[in-house]
Amino acid sequence: MALCALALAGCMMPALAQEEADTTRLVLSLDSARQVAMEHNRTLKNASLDVQKAEASRWQNIASMLPQVNASLDYQNMLGYEIPFRVEETNMEMRIAMPASGSIGITAAVAFSGAQVVAANLGTIAMRMADITQRQTEQQIGNQVKNIYYSILVMEETIGLLEKNLVNIEKLHATTQRSVDVGVAEQVDADQLSIQVATMKTTISTNRRSLEMLYNSMRLQLGVPADTPLTLSQTIDELINIDNAVALLGEEFVIANNYDYQLLQQSVEQARKQVKLNEWAYGPSLSAYYQYTARTYFGQESGFNMTPPNMIGVTLSVPIFSSGKNFTAVKAAKLDYQKQLNTLADTEESLYIQHSQLRYNLASAFETYDTQKKNVEVTQRVLTNISNKYEHGYASSLEVTDANTNLLTAQSSYVQALLELVNAQIELEELLNK
Q: What is the pLDDT of residue 281?
A: 86
The reply to whether 279 falls in a domain is: yes
Helix (H, G, I), strand (E, B) or coil at 23: coil
Which residues lie below 8 Å from residue 17, measured CB to CB, with a gap of 6+?
none
Nearest to 344 by CA among 426, 266, 248: 266
- Model confidence, pTM: 0.78
Q: What's the confidence (pLDDT) of residue 364? A: 93
Residues making up the chain, counted from first to last? 434
First and final CA of the chain: distance in angstroms?
A: 66
pLDDT of residue 249: 86
Number of helical (H) and strand (E) elements in the chain, helices listed first: 10, 8
Is residue 17, in this structure, part of any structural domain at all? no
Whether 287 and 112 have beta carbons less than 8 Å apart is answered as yes
Predicted confidence at residue 185, as pLDDT, reads 73
- Go through 132-156 and write b for each residue having 16 or more CB atoms within 10 A of its CB, e for each that does not: bbbebbbeebbbbbbbbbbbbbbbb
DSSP string, 79-139: TT-EEEEEETTTTEEEEEE---EEEEEEEEEEEEEHHHHHHHHHHHHHHHHHHHHHHHHHH
Classify residue 336: in a domain, yes or no: yes
Euclidean distance between CA atoms 219 and 222, whole angstroms: 5
pLDDT value, residue 299: 66
Q: Is residue 429 in some structural domain?
A: yes
Within 8 A by CB and 6+ apart from 319, the residues are: 281, 282, 283, 284, 326
3-state secondary structure of 215: helix
Mean pLDDT by 10 residues, the chain (434 residues): 39 40 76 92 91 90 88 86 73 75 90 88 92 93 93 90 86 83 80 87 93 94 91 87 82 92 95 92 90 81 72 90 87 94 95 94 92 91 86 77 85 88 90 88
Establish if 120 belongs to a structural domain: no
- Is 251 part of any domain? yes
Residue 136 counted as domain residue: no
396: domain CATH number is 1.20.1600.10
Note whether residue 404 is domain-resident. Answer: yes
Give the count of domains, the chain.
1
Q: What is the pLDDT of residue 300?
A: 59
Q: How many CB atoms lie within 10 A of CB 246?
A: 13
Residue 152 DSSP SS3: helix
Query: Which residue range forms the structural domain that includes residue 362?
Result: 240-283+325-434
CA distance 190 to 72: 97
